A and B are shown apart, each in its own frame.
Chain A
Amino acid sequence: MAIVALAAGAPLYAEHVANTTPERNNLTGKIVVDGETRDVVSLDGIPVGPTWQREYLLGADANGRDVAVRLLYAARNSLFIGLTAALITTLLGIALGLLAGYYRGATDWVISRAMDVLWAVPVLLLGVALGVALTLGGLKIGPLEIRGGSLWIPALIIGVVSVVYLARPLRGEVLRLREQEFVEAARAQGASGPRIMVSEILPNILTTVLVFFPLLVANAVLLEAALSFLGAGVQEPAPSWGLMIGSGIKVLITQPALTIAPGVMLVLSVLSLNVVGEAVREAINPRARVRLEQ
């Protein structure tokens, strides 16, 4: 909750308190700290540390950008990617689970083998490969065109590679539900396949979806950070916690804050999502689980 509020307030903070934008470089500027004028980035390239005042609250990065402002904007990007990816996973997972579980036979065979293929490649390996490829080339599907640096690319990749987590359990559930009396009753009344899926089966699998959703968002946020860290996710100059950790590590010796701060934000958001997920899971279905890989 707090993270969402911070993310929403990011532009306000940037404009009124820190007086900069997340992508504005400031290599030659000077600021006054404790009555002493200092370079934002010193001549030998060392950025200023946390100042604990309005501008550069948590210091600057190597480009002279305000770390606190970038952290908040990164929160927006992470949440956007996490939520979009989880939504993509959910929609795809529901569609595939319903089709495979309800029609069985050839449809089920094709979908299940496709899931086997996704399962066979480690999520991170596939994500990195797709990330690098799509970031360079962008993506064109018919009239839809996504530029290389767009946030939609990591969101889409994470959404698609995570589909197995949801589609498999849903398929099992649909297989069980389709034999129940109320489905048979609907079929006896002459309801069509799609109608039964949407109005009879779908409402019954929504609780499972609800249990998985926060866990999927948590997983997506973590995966986004990992991909960005490896250079296959969010692209500079857009801010991302994973990206900030990646560049922070290079100056860990002089400026540990550049690594610690984004990591703490990342841990807190993933942790809160996992705690929410845990609470929902305890309340509804103690067996749901998302397989984690790092």
Chain B
Amino acid sequence: MARFIIRRLLGMLLVLFAVSVIVFAIFNVIPNGAPENRMAGKQSTPQQIEAIRREWGFDQSVLTQYVKTMEKLLTGKNFISYNQQRPVYDELKAGLPRTVSLAIGAAILWLVAGVALGVYSALRAGSKADFAINVLAIIGISVPVFWLGALVNHYLGYKLGWFPNGGYVPISEGGLWEWAYHLFMPWTVLSILFIGVYSRVLRSTILDTLDEDFVRTARAKGLSERRVVTHHVLRTSLAPIVTLWGLDFALVVTGGAILTETVFDIQGIGSYYADSVGQLDVPPVMAVTMLGAVVIVVVNTLVDIAYAALDPRVRLS
């Protein structure tokens, strides 16, 4: 077991290293990517540009630049964005509560709704309600979130005035109610896709589980149908959903909800990423991608280790 864990952890570091190299390379092999020209502005002399090159180390080799950037990224010292020239980690800290607020509400909503719909449609498989849920789920995964978000924001927010028109109010300023009131539309829009995915995944898992031997045994023991479903079927079927939920939550927290954040003007990590990437601002882009990669890889590794601890067959492969 110890060897398995060590091997997984080493693999994890390797993957993170590769991600950092790739992201850095993307922005250093493109022509016209030279940041010093944009930083110096339109009316700049060659001397000014040269001074910026020297000051920021753009005159050094790509390898040195990579090492320097990683050093700053890991220590957080002097890790400053090219365009706004502000410390990257300060910006991330400012965006984090916004993004986490968005993620928490949406994740709870999509888990509860996804599980409820999935369980209901699986237990009523073949019925009209099941069919209707399936149709809604397919529609849910086919609707682009930025389009739905823009329309909802316009009609429910601007036209009808039921909800505030995007934006974010911290709990410390507006209290719990204002915070949730502002986030209600983004939460709903963001969770629609996930509700569609989760209800369908859960439905098929439950239908598979119902065919298992241990369910038949439980029924044969004379347990009530209710007890069979809650204690035997749901317990086993929910495991993959919870894994998926952890990953998706991590994804949204680390900037994966770029589109929702942009449309509703949340100004979280996703918006920060979108703005920075548009200006080819390498430090923030590196920071957000690495943050995302670390969270995803750590969650994945923990899941693998947990599975291996529970099921010895996994360790062999």
Seen from chain A, the residues whose Cβ lies within 8 Å of a Cβ on chain B are 113-114, 116-117, 119-122, 124-126, 128-130, 132-134, 136-138, 218, 222, 225-226, 229-232, 242, 245, 249, 252-253, 256, 259-260, 262-263, 266-267, 270-271, 274-275, 278, 286-287, 289, 292-294
With an 8 A cutoff between CB atoms, is B16 at the interface? yes
Instruction: Evaluate whether A294 and B193 lie within 8 angstroms (CB atoms) in the complex, with A117-B15, A122-B251, A225-B144 already known.
Output: yes
Instruction: Evaluate whether A253 and B146 lie within 8 angstroms (CB atoms) in the complex, with A120-B293, A125-B289 already known.
Output: no
Say yes or no: A121 contacts B154, CB within 8 Å. Answer: no
Give a binary string over B138-149; 1 marks a CB under 8 Å from any A CB, 0 the rest: 110111111110
Contacts of B273 in A (CB 8 A): 125, 128
Say yes or no: B31 contacts A116, CB within 8 Å. Answer: no
Say yes or no: B23 contacts A289, CB within 8 Å. Answer: no
A230–B23 CA distance with the chains assembled, in angstroms: 18
Say yes or no: B296 contacts A119, CB within 8 Å. Answer: yes
Please tell me the size bucket of the interface on B: 35 or more
Give chain B's interface secondary structure class.
Answer: helix
Contacts of B142 in A (CB 8 A): 218, 222, 267, 270-271, 274
Say yes or no: B147 contacts A124, CB within 8 Å. Answer: no
A262–B285 CA distance with the chains assembled, in angstroms: 30
Q: Tell me how far the C-beta of A108 lies from the nearest C-beta in chain B, rounded to whole angstroms.
A: 11
Contact of B23 among A129, A134, A231 (CB under 8 A): A129
With an 8 A cutoff between CB atoms, is B255 at the interface? yes
Contact of A292 among B18, B31, B197, B293 (CB under 8 A): B197
A238–B277 CA distance with the chains assembled, in angstroms: 22
With an 8 A cutoff between CB atoms, is B204 at the interface? yes
Contacts of B97 in A (CB 8 A): none
Seen from chain B, the residues whose Cβ lies within 8 Å of a Cβ on chain A are 11, 14-16, 18-19, 22-23, 26-27, 29-33, 138-139, 141-148, 150-151, 154, 158, 190, 193, 197, 201, 204, 251, 254-260, 262-263, 273-274, 277-278, 280, 285, 288-289, 292-293, 296-297, 300
A89–B300 CA distance with the chains assembled, in angstroms: 23
Contacts of A249 in B (CB 8 A): 150, 263
Contacts of A294 in B (CB 8 A): 144-145, 190, 193, 257, 259-260
Contacts of A126 in B (CB 8 A): 289
Say yes or no: A260 contacts B151, CB within 8 Å. Answer: yes
Contact of A263 among B144, B274, B296 (CB under 8 A): B144
Contacts of A289 in B (CB 8 A): 201
- Give the nearest-CB partner of B139 in chain A: A271
Say yes or no: A263 contacts B292, CB within 8 Å. Answer: no
